[in-house]
Amino acid sequence: MRVLVFGASGMLGRDLLAAFSEDDATGLSSRQADLRDSGGVLSTVQQARPDWIILAAAYTDVDGCEKDPARALAVNRDGAANIASAAIQARSRLVFISSDYVFDGEKRSPYETEDPRNPINMYGQSKAEAESKLLEIVPDCCIVRTSWLFGIGGKCFPDTMLRLAITQPELRVVDDQRGCPTYTFDLAAAISGLVRKQADGIVHVTNRGSCSWFEFAGAILAARSPRTRVIPVSTAEFRRPAKRPAYSVLSGRSLQEYGIDLSDWQDALTRYLRQRND
Ligand SMILES: NC(=O)c1ccc[n+]([C@@H]2O[C@H](COP(=O)([O-])OP(=O)(O)OC[C@H]3O[C@@H](n4cnc5c(N)ncnc54)[C@H](OP(=O)(O)O)[C@@H]3O)[C@@H](O)[C@H]2O)c1
């Protein structure tokens, strides 16, 4: 199977290349193919003629998207549409990585795939608009919504907590946003499984269970820096340019329908911390 991964230099992208290492997989960074360059994207895809394209590339800085909405839409929505058009022309199947931030966070039970999108920040809007465009251009594409990613070598929450804990005896962490931490290693394995099952439509893929950022920080520091105190704070006390949904837990039902189930986030965190020490 020939697989082309856009965003291969990113946190998830690196694990995707490993997950497809037994296949004929090629990975691209933004320097090799900028999603905004429709001609470049098309010729790259036509040359590679992949069976599957995995679109893991995105402008992922949530506050950056709020400050630069034109870039958010150009990369995350229009760039994704460029890939979709190229996929149609090359007759390649497509997996698009989307986000829990397409939801407004008003629910208090896990979001199902058919719940309405209602993003409350620019990053979420760019992903929500990309999803609609992609489903129009490539009706059989597979949209994988995921959340709160952490992975080896990535700029992620556990990494930030452990770095801050070196110099700070106590850390203030938001306790009123709830989501599903997800290990990119597990997510990449699930995406590989979905591809092999010819998945289409929207699938929610996260590690099992949910927590607040405060609870997540507590688990990280208990394992590696037990003397650091974690203090719960509210979102209102911790102002940031982009609003975040208060609750963005994704239901695992759509993934289980494909016979795939990921471990709980605590187990994933333990494996990530072990791997970091290598
Ligand atoms: N991180 C999370 O918590 C989270 C949550 C939900 C969904 N997601 C989604 O999951 C996917 C992977 O996230 P991640 O955290 O692994 O991303 P990441 O580490 O920030 O990597 C982003 C990747 O996108 C590439 N990229 C950025 N702008 C591009 C452009 N204009 N053209 C082509 N490539 C471009 C980057 O290439 P360079 O290295 O060359 O810049 C890099 O390979 C993304 O679609 C993201 O939206 C992430």
How far apart (Å, rounded) are the C-alpha atoms in residues 142 and 228?
Answer: 42
Using the mean position of ligand 1's atoms as its centre, give its distance from the Cα of residue 243 in Å: 20
Which stretches within the chain are classed as H helix? 11-19, 38-48, 62-67, 69-72, 80-90, 122-137, 157-167, 184-196, 213-224, 253-256, 265-276
Quote the pLDDT of residue 55. Answer: 98
How far apart (Å, rounded) are the C-alpha atoms in residues 234 and 177?
Answer: 9
41: CB partners within 8 A, 6+ apart:
33, 34, 35, 79, 82, 83, 86
123 catalytically annotated? yes
Helix axes 265-276, 184-196, angle to 10 degrees: 110
Q: Tens digit of pLDDT for each residue in 52-81?
A: 999 999 999 999 999 999 999 999 999 999
How far apart (Å, rounded) are the C-alpha atoms in residues 111 and 253?
Answer: 10
Quote the pLDDT of residue 137. Answer: 98
State the chain's maximal CA–CA distance in angstroms: 56
> Measured from the CB, is residue 99 less than 6 Å from ligand 1?
yes
Q: Tens digit of pLDDT for each residue in 211-249?
A: 999 999 999 999 999 999 999 999 999 889 999 999 999
Which stretches within 235-278 are classed as H helix? 253-256, 265-276
**From the alpha carbon of 55, which atom of ligand 1 is closest?**
45
How far apart (Å, rounded) are the C-alpha atoms in residues 97 and 121?
Answer: 17
Quote the pLDDT of residue 277. Answer: 77
How many CB atoms neighbour CB 94 within 10 A? 24
Give the residue from 37, 19, 29, 25 showing the smallest Cα distance to 56: 29
Q: Tens digit of pLDDT for each residue in 183-213?
A: 999 999 999 999 999 999 999 999 999 999 9
Q: Which protein residue has the closest C-alpha to ligand 1 atom 2?
A: 149
Quote the pLDDT of residue 60. Answer: 98
How far apart (Å, rounded) are the C-alpha atoms in residues 54 and 7?
Answer: 9
> Measured from the CB, is residue 73 less than 6 Å from ligand 1?
no
One-letter amino acid of 127? K
Using the mean position of ligand 1's atoms as its centre, give its distance from the Cα of residue 59 in Å: 6
What's the mean pLDDT when you consider all of the chain?
Answer: 97
Using the mean position of ligand 1's atoms as its centre, give its distance from the Cα of residue 55 in Å: 9
| Residue 278 in this model has a pLDDT that exceeds 50 | no
> Measured from the CB, is residue 182 less than 6 Å from ligand 1?
no
Question: Which of helix, strand or coil describes residue 174?
Answer: strand
